[in-house]
Amino acid sequence: MALKFSFLGSGSRGNCTLVESDQWKFLIDLGFSLRQTSETLRYCQTGIENLSAAIITHTHDDHIKKSTVKRLASSNVTLFCRNEHESRIGNWEGFKLLREKHLVRPYADNSFEMLPGVTVQPIAVSHDSPATHGFVFDFKTGNSQFRFVYAADCGFPSTDAISKFIPDADLVALEFNHDEEMERRSGRPWFLINRVLGPQGHLSNRSAANLLGKTKSKKLRGVVQLHLSRDCNRPDLAMTEAQNTLGSLPVHQTAQDTIGPIINIA
Ligand SMILES: [Zn+2]
Ligand SMILES: [Zn+2]
């Protein structure tokens, strides 16, 4: 089974990633408007109507949009989420329609089969939205397995929870949110700076790089940097931090308004 990972965009204004095999297609997070979701999927030569499922990490506005959920429902796409997520999205028209169609599948703490050949282990992280999770996806590819770890909004105590899954990962997509110095000097209100830097905020370049440096194994083929802050990070700083601990391992960067990277696994 060949796999394709298309990072459609990542940042504080929207997160969405398309994962495909020849048997299914699913989205991780729905943080784009319906128009942007449709346009980016069209670029990838597909559409919402061709999806088998979507799974969300949490319900901050940059990870789930009402208009996109509504289209999921009319296209009969299964949504995987936590029961706790309903406190924000439970009253949305699209969510109610999904529920009526029995297309809402709550995930709990244990691993579960999301699609044929796709097992997901949720990772609870400390980010400040109810029941925020990262995911470990295990894909059965013929006789071999491929492990993809995805963690977009973390908070730094989460590095312990994520770290045990990195040694067996083939591909890791991890938040490189901010440069700590740029965040401190940003001129933003103090409450916002403290939130981002605090235990329930976001992972800094250094925290993310240290986590990967300590736990990576020879199995790891590449790293994708997610959720770079527009105001408090620079692509070159995030890249340098990663390369300091990862050496020559391929490091890819996502952007907010540009599709990529697109990674094909034969
Ligand atoms: Zn976010
Ligand atoms: Zn968030």
Cα 127 to ligand 2 centroid, rounded to whole Å: 7
Cα 180 to ligand 1 centroid, rounded to whole Å: 17
Q: Where are the domains of the chain?
A: 3-265
Ligand number nearest to the C-alpha of 31 = 1
The answer, yes or no, to whether the previous bond of 261 is cis (omega within 30 of 0) is: yes
Cα 266 to ligand 1 centroid, rounded to whole Å: 30
What separation in angstroms does the CA of 90 have from each of 34, 83, 109, 132, 178? 19, 9, 20, 16, 32
DSSP string, 80-97: EE-GGGHHHHTT-HHHHH
Interatomic CA distance for residues 154 and 116, integer angstroms: 28
Interatomic CA distance for residues 220 and 172, integer angstroms: 8
Cα 198 to ligand 1 centroid, rounded to whole Å: 15
Ligand number nearest to the C-alpha of 62 = 1
For 236, list phi and psi in degrees, rounded to 5.
-70, -35
Ligand number nearest to the C-alpha of 256 = 1
CATH 3.60.15.10 fits 3-265, yes or no: yes
pLDDT of residue 232: 98
Give, for all 266 residues of the chain, the pLDDT tens digit.
Answer: 799 999 999 999 999 999 999 999 999 999 999 999 999 999 999 999 999 999 999 999 999 999 999 999 999 999 999 999 999 999 999 999 999 999 999 999 999 999 999 999 999 999 999 999 999 999 997 788 999 999 999 988 889 999 999 999 999 999 999 999 999 999 999 999 999 999 999 999 999 999 999 999 999 999 999 999 999 999 999 999 999 999 999 999 999 999 999 999 98
